[in-house]
Amino acid sequence: MSVLVAHPWWVNLAAGIPFVAYFFWRRRGNGLGADALLYGAIFAVAFGFVEAAVVVYLRTATGLLGATAVAVYQQAQLLHGLPEKLMRIEVLREAATMVMLASVALLASTKARARWAMFLWMFAIWDIVYYAGLWALVRWPGSPRETDVLFLIPVPWVAPVWFPVAVSALMMAAVAAASRLGSRGEVRGPA
């Protein structure tokens, strides 16, 4: 059994991002208050559901999602079943997703550490809501062990669903913990 859970190999490095981010924030915090986290979370929840709906529409329109969604929903089909033009559109949709998350993060603060924290916070929530939305809409994934195509840029990233959900949960924990730290590492009260 392989120690790596995601392919290509470097996607596994994403598991370290929450720990590295917290390491850099542990002394001065990340500069985000409770209001910023709340507003970022609201955006990310809405955006995650929109992304899930778009994927359901795309898969239905291309015939990759039938009436029995769980049986038909095979991510490997995405890589081979979409015409090249639609695959390019899918890559552009993913790039636009990152631009939208980054844009909101840039609006959240003038400080780089707070912007980075907001991006990671929203990305994590968006990712978890995306999977929850897919499950609510088409009952996929049937299990956290099901394989998913996580991202297509620069090459397809493939891993079991539990992997991005676990990394996202850790990211949310790191951002939330670091947002409570003051300028010298002490815990702040509610913002």
Residues 75-122 have pLDDT tens digits of: 555 666 677 888 898 899 999 999 999 999 999 999 999 999 999 999
Residue 60: is it exposed, middle or buried by C-beta count within 10 angstroms (0-12/13-18/19+)? middle
Q: Which pLDDT score, from 0 to 100, does residue 79 have?
A: 65
Q: Mean pLDDT over residues 7-11, rounded?
A: 95
Q: Which pLDDT score, from 0 to 100, does residue 71 have?
A: 40
Q: Which two three-digit tokens encode residue 148?
A: 């998913």
> For the chain, what is the mean pLDDT?
87
The pTM is what? 0.87
Q: Which pLDDT score, from 0 to 100, does residue 61 have?
A: 80
Q: Which residues lie closer than 8 Å to 41 by C-beta, 6 or more apart?
A: 121, 122, 125
d(CA 163, CA 33): 28
Cis peptide leading into 156, omega within 30 of 0?
Answer: no
Return the higher-pLDDT residue of 38 and 81. Answer: 38
Please write the tens of the pLDDT for every residue from 45-80: 999 999 999 989 887 887 776 554 444 445 555 666
Given a contact cutoff of 8 angstroms between Cβ atoms, the answer to whether 15 and 167 are in contact is yes
Q: Which pLDDT score, from 0 to 100, does residue 117 have?
A: 97
Longest CA pairwise span in the chain (Å): 56
β-strand partners of 125: none
Cis peptide leading into 154, omega within 30 of 0?
Answer: yes
Using alpha carbons, list the distances in angstroms from residue 143 to 26, 89, 124, 139, 147. 35, 28, 19, 10, 9
DSSP string, 124-152: HHHHHHHHHHHHHHH---SSTTSEEEEE-
Has residue 160 got a pLDDT over 80? yes
H or E segment and range at residue 153 = none
Q: Which of 78, 121, 119 is nearest to 100 (CA)?
A: 119
